[in-house]
Chains A and B, each alone.
Chain A
Amino acid sequence: MAFCACSCSHSKQDPSEAVVTDSLPMMVMQIQKCARLYTTEYHIHKIVTHDDMVRLKGKVMNQPFSIPLPLGERKIAIPLDATVKAYIDFSRFSERNIERNGNKITIFLPDPELVLTATKVNQEEVREYVGLVRPHFSDKELSSYEQQGREAILAAVPEMGLLESARANAARVLVPMLTQMGYDEQDIIIAFRKNMDLETIINSSLERK
């Protein structure tokens, strides 16, 4: 069908009309219902760099060698910005997440999770240096470096200690909601199920200090 659509649109086109044409079908769409409360947004910046030199590599008589050839070097720097968000999944929220004791209310939440919501290549700031006898970086090579940069960001995110701020911000969203329901701020406790030690229990009154 997609082929038919393309061929139809081509047959109608006047060859002298457009200099630039863009006409390809949408590929896949996946729709998912969810109930996520995003509490924190992180902007992460990385400059992806790559430099390559043509080398004669190999192994002779079990001795490895790598000799740079005088064909020139290529270098590229790609600034990459990523947006990571922390969210609490409310899809399984029920009475079991709530505990009341007189006027006090404790809400137990699952631990926050992180998701990479967007990445953007700063095309204007990309810098490349190419030796005289070397070809320019192809679109495929650029995509490969960008994908590797994205993977590096994903690998680094768990080490950044983002979840603590995500927990604190969850309280900042939920506490005003509960005060509107009639609870006093000092009577509200937001706790996280996975780590029930004191450090991770975020009391709204403690947060203000």
Chain B
Amino acid sequence: MKEQAKQYKTLILIACVAAVAAVAWFVHSLSQSEVSVGVDDRINITPEQIESIKAIGQWEFLSIADEDMVDTTRKGFFSDDHLVRIYYGTVRLGIDMNDVQPDWLQVEGDSILVQLPAIGLLDDNFIDEARTKSFHESGRWKGADREALYHKARQRMLDHCLTKKNLKTARQNGDAQFRNMMRAMGYNHVVIRWDQE
């Protein structure tokens, strides 16, 4: 009888320890649990396709990396809507070999005359629009509004970068680079002329 009571006590003790351990494990598991509501902000995997490959011949002598903050405001009855974006672009100045005259290089002994076309903008599309940062938005804006901002940023970058000073710097650098290249080719006397801008 006494022996049986002792066995019951041992069993109850083991059951209590197991229950405490189970509760502790359950509480620990719950504390490790996490629940949240959210959406995935990654894009899907889609292919990149080469649409065209074009042979070109453009010498770049000056590049101007520009960033511009452009905003637009729409007046409303109760409040105004704003959209502010930061655009990035690189204006490249140089010459296009399609514009050189047929006899742009004239050699006479160790002398060479190089007639180069006027320095100009190498690319009409120079804005890296996919790098654009959204700075502020209130109200709802459409693609046409973003397109208008893009053209505004483009015009503003052209105004900043396509200056007489930059064109002159590009020409001076082009002069130095062509002179250096022709000397490397073995011409001791190099004359470089530029077409009128």
Contact = CB atoms under 8 A, between A and B. Distances in A.
Interface in B57-113: 57-75, 83-86, 89-90, 92, 94, 97, 103-105, 107, 112
Interface of B: 29-30, 32-75, 83-86, 89-90, 92, 94, 97, 103-105, 107, 112, 122-123, 125-134, 137, 140-141, 143-144, 146-147, 150, 152, 156, 160-161, 166, 169, 173, 177, 180-181, 184-186
Contact of B131 (A25, A46, A119, A124): A119
Interface in A3-42: 19-42
A124 B144 CA distance: 7
Contacts of A43: 50-54
Nearest to A159: B48
Interface stretch (A138-146, A185-193, A195-203): A138-146
Contacts of A124: 143-144, 147
A136 B102 CA distance: 57
8 contacts: A20-B73, A34-B60, A36-B94, A39-B57, A97-B184, A98-B185, A116-B128, A118-B128
Given A22-B70, A29-B160, A56 B35 contact: yes
Interface of A: 19-62, 69, 80-83, 85, 87, 90-91, 93-95, 97-98, 100, 116-121, 123-124, 126, 136, 138-150, 152-153, 156, 160, 162, 165, 169, 172-173, 177, 180-182
